[in-house]
Each structure stands twice: as structure tokens, then as C-alpha cells.
């Protein structure tokens, strides 16, 4: 298990949507089945296993999110979130953390890929839109996650080999298909800064909502 699950209390205030029977994944590693709570301040997932363990992510830590229906890169349709670990309370298991440190010699925190897979596929769109509303209500003005990449002369984000493997080929986040993603305005702005495509607007296709 990559992300360390901790005891988490179910939210009682500001709940926008509660979705039961949602599997959570870090990258492709399953964290189990549980309940997803989207509130006005954070996204919380709590495992259905005994112990009420899970994790919470506040909106300023969410770099972007989108719906993926492309089962060639991941076997299930899901809501995808990229999380800036430095702005979150998420912790990685020791082995995973050592691997991240060895792969990243600079001081940048890793971007954590989290996927939520509901049993009911009709829940994907409500989950996405409630997270979208949460981000709009909690804007992050000082996003420094990719500051070094922004300073490159060519204005482009250089994909690492591991990033390409994790995101797969076809419907993920590259300069060629950024305009095919539906995401929050904040996530779009982050992606435009990464790829230097500030003049483009997103459009929806059949595989990414």
C-alpha cells in the first residue's frame, strides 16, 4: 500500500455528496473499498474495512481532476485526481517514499495520482462536478508545484519516463491532448502553465468527460 491510511472521522458538516462503494487507488494500487465524501473544504475517502481508516485532501492540494473512461490506460472508469503532496496531509509508505526521493533529487514534492472508482458508474459525473464546485469555492492563488518547469525557456513541461508510463498512451495529460480534458478552471490553468498552452481551451470528447 503506497498511501498510509489513517483514522478519519466521517464529515458531518458541509457535505456536498456522499458516494458509497467507491474503490480508491494510488496509481494502480488499490486502497480498498469505501465511502467518498465531498465537502465544502475537502475530499475524504474512508475504507469500509474495520478501523475507519482513510485519507482527506483539501482543495488547495488538488492540482487537477478529471473523469477518465479510457479503459486502455486503467481498467475501470474513474475520477482521477493529481495531488500535490506538499500541500496535503498524505504520507507514503517508507519503501514508496524512498523510491520517490531517489527519483527526485530536487526539493519538489511528488504529484500523487489518486483514482476513485465507484461501483455505480452514474456516480462519476456527480462526483466530478462536486469536486469542481469545491475547487471553485476554494481557489489557490499561489500554486508553486511546477515553478521550475514554468521557468524553462521553451515553456514546456518535460515528461519523465515514469510519468509517461503511469499516465499511459492515448487519453492522458500531454501537450497534444490537453484540449480534450474536462477539468476545473484551476486544474486547467495549472495544466496550461505546465505545457505552455495558455491559448487553448478544453473541449470534451467521448473518452474524457
Instruction: Give the model confidence (pLDDT) of 85-129 as tens digits.
Output: 999 989 988 654 455 554 544 444 568 999 999 999 999 999 999
More confident residue, 71 or 100: 71
Q: What confidence score (pLDDT) does residue 92 get?
A: 87
Query: In which band, very low, low, confident or very high, does the pLDDT at 185 lie, cut at 50, 70 and 90?
Result: low
Contact predicate 54/41, CB 8 Å: no
Q: Is the pLDDT of residue 71 over 80?
A: yes
Q: CA–CA separation, 145 vs 36, rounded Å? A: 26
Higher-scoring residue by pLDDT: 100, 82: 82
Segment among 54-68, 90-104, 141-155, 177-191 with least mean pLDDT? 141-155
- Which of the pair, 80 or 151, is modelled with greater confidence? 80
Q: How far apart are CA 69 and CA 208, in angstroms?
A: 6
Please tell me the total number of residues recorded for the chain in this structure: 209
Angle between helices 185-195 and 124-137 (to 10 degrees): 80
What distances in angstroms separate CA 127 from CA 147, 149, 191, 200, 206, one per listed residue? 29, 30, 21, 26, 18
Per-residue pLDDT at 180: 52
Instruction: Report pLDDT for 156.
Output: 42
**Alpha-carbon distance 149 to 157, whole Å?**
6
Give the Cβ contact number of residue 206 at 10 Å: 9
Q: Which of 190 and 105 is assigned the larger pLDDT?
A: 190
- Cell 521557468 sits on residue: 151
- Flag whether pLDDT at 82 surpasses 90: yes
Q: Grid coordinates representing 52?
A: 475507519
Amino acid at each position: 500500500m503506497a498511501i498510509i491510511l489513517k483514522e478519519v472521522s466521517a464529515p458531518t458538516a458541509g457535505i456536498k455528496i456522499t458516494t458509497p462503494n467507491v474503490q480508491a487507488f494510488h496509481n494502480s494500487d488499490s486502497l480498498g473499498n469505501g465511502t467518498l465524501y465531498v465537502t465544502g473544504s475537502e475530499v475524504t475517502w474512508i475504507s469500509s474495512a474495520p478501523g475507519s481508516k482513510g485519507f482527506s485532501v483539501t482543495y488547495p492540494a488538488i492540482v487537477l481532476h478529471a473523469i477518465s473512461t479510457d479503459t486502455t490506460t486503467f481498467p475501470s472508469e474513474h475520477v482521477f485526481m493529481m495531488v500535490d503532496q506538499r500541500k496535503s496531509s498524505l504520507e507514503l509508505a517508507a519503501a514508496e517514499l524512498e523510491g520517490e526521493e531517489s527519483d527526485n533529487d530536487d526539493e519538489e514534492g511528488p504529484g500523487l495520482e489518486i483514482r476513485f472508482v465507484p461501483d455505480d458508474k452514474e456516480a462519476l459525473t456527480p462526483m466530478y462536478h462536486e469536486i469542481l464546485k469545491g475547487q471553485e469555492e476554494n481557489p489557490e492563488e499561489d500554486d508553486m508545484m511546477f515553478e521550475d518547469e514554468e521557468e524553462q525557456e521553451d515553456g514546456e513541461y518535460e515528461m519523465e519516463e515514469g510519468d509517461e508510463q503511469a499516465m499511459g498512451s492515448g487519453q492522458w495529460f500531454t501537450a497534444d491532448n490537453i484540449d480534450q480534458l474536462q477539468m476545473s478552471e484551476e486544474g486547467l490553468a495549472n495544466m496550461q502553465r505546465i505545457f505552455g498552452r495558455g491559448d487553448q481551451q478544453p473541449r470534451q470528447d467521448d473518452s474524457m468527460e
